[in-house]
Amino acid sequence: MVSEPRLSERGIRMSMNVLDVENVSVSHSGALAINNISFSVQEGDLLGVVGPNGAGKTTLFRAILGLQSYQGKIKLFGYEGHQYDTLLPMIGYVPQKVNFEPNFPATVFDVVALGTLSGKKLRKGAKLIQSCGCCWNRIFGTSSKDSEKIEKVLEIVGLESLRNRRISELSGGEQQRTFIAKALVKEPVLMILDEPVTGVDLEVSNKFYSVIRRINKENKVTIIWASHDLTAISDHATKVACMNRDLFFHGEKDEFFSNKDLLKTYSESAMQMHMHHHEL
């Protein structure tokens, strides 16, 4: 059962929850990877998720994507169960590192085309989303042809001139933007980016941040983005979630960065996790 869109006293639709994570826990071999986490992501959020290596960020993302079993509840637009599964293909995901065969002959256009959804899947998802008052076709307008959608997202990520270049011939940053375009071409209700600038240089990072700001602000795409870079989170995120198996903060960016105790807790947890891995 999905809740009705929330209205203000003046009858204006308020931001709704795209994602609700309720008391979610995940165990690996009897050890807790995530411990009873709860938070919500509103339509239009750019949520920066911070935490040390091993904090459970990727495990959390896999649970949201239906790739990891868990205890608790996860809802998209208030839907769970079969309806949640219907919306899952409409989540765009960019993992930390995408592995592919170096001699893979596909072009940039070909790789992005792999992200398109069938008309049937789009219609099913769109019907659910529209029923709870969310905007639709925010990127493509009335365009319905896959080729037009691909050209549009290539322009958004700045790769239109490389559309016929083989993926193996691209720089690391260009490959990264290709996979962002692949996630974006389905016009996702939510994008999840798992530390996508790890190991890249400053120029590539800056291009990445420019792309996600544009996607979030101009195309109104809700984004969850994991990063170790607190400066980047401070500069670009609108909200912050800080976790280390437990979630010990979720809220406005300014509240997190103005709280010395929270920053100290984050620094200490990161150091403890670093020492733990070093000892292993």
Give the span between the Cα atoms of 10 and 3, in whole angstroms: 19
Distances in Å between the Cα of 213 and the Cα atoms of 66, 96, 210 are 26, 19, 5
Q: Residue 153 falls within a domain, yes or no?
A: yes
Q: Are the CB atoms for 100 and 200 separated by under 8 Å?
A: no
Bridge partners of 15, per DSSP, are none
- Residue 10 domain-assigned (yes or no): no
Whether residue 7 lies inside any domain: the answer is no
What's the pTM value of the predicted model, to 2 decimals? 0.86
Q: How far is residue 117's CA from residue 194's CA, in Å, rounded to a whole number?
A: 22
DSSP string, 40-72: EEETT-EEEEE--TTSSHHHHHHHHTTSS--EE
Question: Looking at residue 85, which CATH number applies to its domain?
Answer: 3.40.50.300
Task: Label the pairing between strands 223-226 and 31-42.
Answer: unpaired
What string of pLDDT tens digits covers the 280 residues of the chain? 444 444 434 443 456 799 999 999 999 888 899 999 999 999 899 999 998 888 999 999 999 999 999 999 999 999 999 999 999 998 999 988 777 676 778 999 999 999 988 778 878 888 888 787 765 556 776 666 889 989 999 998 999 999 999 998 988 888 888 999 999 998 888 999 998 887 677 887 888 888 899 889 888 889 999 988 888 999 999 999 999 999 989 999 999 999 888 887 777 666 555 444 434 4
Residue 8 in any domain: the answer is no
Task: Answer for the pair 219, 138: CB distance below 8 angstroms, yes or no.
Answer: yes
User: DSSP assignment, residue 166?
Assistant: B
166 domain residue, yes or no? yes
Per the structure, how many domains does the chain have?
Answer: 1
Q: Which residues, other chains included, contact 258 with Cβ-Cβ below 8 Å and sequence gap of 6+?
A: none
Pair of tokens at residue 30: 């009897």
| Segments forming the whole domain that contains residue 224 | 17-279
Long-range contacts of 121-126 (CB under 8 A, 24+ apart): 121/89, 121/90, 122/90, 122/186, 124/86, 125/86, 125/87, 125/89, 125/90, 125/189
The answer to whether residue 82 is domain-embedded is yes
- Within-domain flag for 46: yes
In a domain, 2, yes or no: no
